[in-house]
Amino acid sequence: MKIILTGIQASGALHLGNYFGAMQPAIEKQNVPDWQPVYFIADYHALTSVTKPGDLRRYTVDAAASWLACGLDPARTILFRQSDVPQVHELAWLLSVVTPMGLLQRAHSYKDKIAQGADTTHGLFAYPVLMAADILLYNSDLVPVGKDQKQHLEMTRDIAQKFNDRFGPVFKLPEPFIGEATGIVPGIDGRKMSKSYDNGIPIFGDEKEIKKAVMSIKTDSTPIDQPKQIDGTLLGQLMQIVNPAAYPDFVAQAAKPGTGYGDLKKQLLTEIIARFQPFQEKYRHLQAHPDEVEAILRDGAARARTLAAPVLEKARRATGLSL
């Protein structure tokens, strides 16, 4: 049995980048024979940006409800809250003793967040070590990541190799899975779609919220009576991701004089709403019944701890902490 693992931070409403970059490819893997999907809500990681306990609890339930509404089957997958498997922190410490400072200092994500004004905390700096523990604790074989997260997986492999070199062959080296079209989903401002940039398009917002985000997508100043070049633009990239089949007609419509960017944004809005409408009813039900979500998370955590226990014990024996 091979393990596919991914996690989503509990730091705000989930958006198109979360869905197409991680959730959709991960959910598709739940039906592949001989694969065990292991998916978690990263509430420990979220503490680097979420400061209010009520927000963290709400974001955690929201993230789990979103996974379940979008098709995750808890009978076929292991879905859990990261903090319900505290062994991850013991492993993070064992990994930290072999992790060079220089490796962490080269992390693109850390440098980017500092440039954006984030506090220079140890949690933010050591984020890749905890991420490595998340991955290695379950003997993961495959990790769906966006192109911007590929470096973190490479760091996980480096840390695992350094541990193995010092203490013996404890960890397998996981491989990344990057979707060709959705490695990086752009936000409405052109940067990577991210909750920290506040540039996302929510997948479960009401129509007014989604419309506001879509109508704010950055475009150029081409006059309405001129044809629009859509290939390579934000609008074009998002339409290709949301509904590839509709993209040729979208390009053709954009090339017609008299079609404005507002018209094109409305077309994209229609596609987004249609794409996620089938999930809305279940999402609303789960939001109204958080006890159902909690039961699934508790069951998933018990199964995750069963996977984690022998891996952590092997690491403890290798280091001399256990006999």
Q: Which residues are tagged catalytic?
A: 113, 192, 195
* Cα–Cα distance measured from residue 57 to residue 194, given in angstroms and rounded to the nearest whole number: 20
* Residue 80, φ and ψ in degrees, nearest 5: -150, 165
Helix, coil or strand: residue 24:
helix
> How would DSSP label each residue in 109-125?
HHHHHHHTT----HHHH
* Cα–Cα distance measured from residue 156 to residue 320, given in angstroms and rounded to the nearest whole number: 22
Alpha helices, DSSP H only, in 52-145?
Answer: 53-69, 87-96, 101-105, 108-115, 122-125, 127-136
The answer to whether 65 and 17 are in contact (CB under 8 A) is: no
Of 48, 137, 141, 129, nearest to 84 by C-alpha is: 137
The answer to whether 70 and 292 are in contact (CB under 8 A) is: no
Query: Taking every pair of C-alpha atoms in the chain, what is the biggest distance, in angstroms?
Result: 77
What is the gyration radius of the CA atoms in the chain, in angstroms? 21
Of 2, 134, 13, 139, nearest to 80 by C-alpha is: 134
Q: What is the DSSP letter of 21?
A: I
* Cα–Cα distance measured from residue 132 to residue 289, given in angstroms and rounded to the nearest whole number: 33
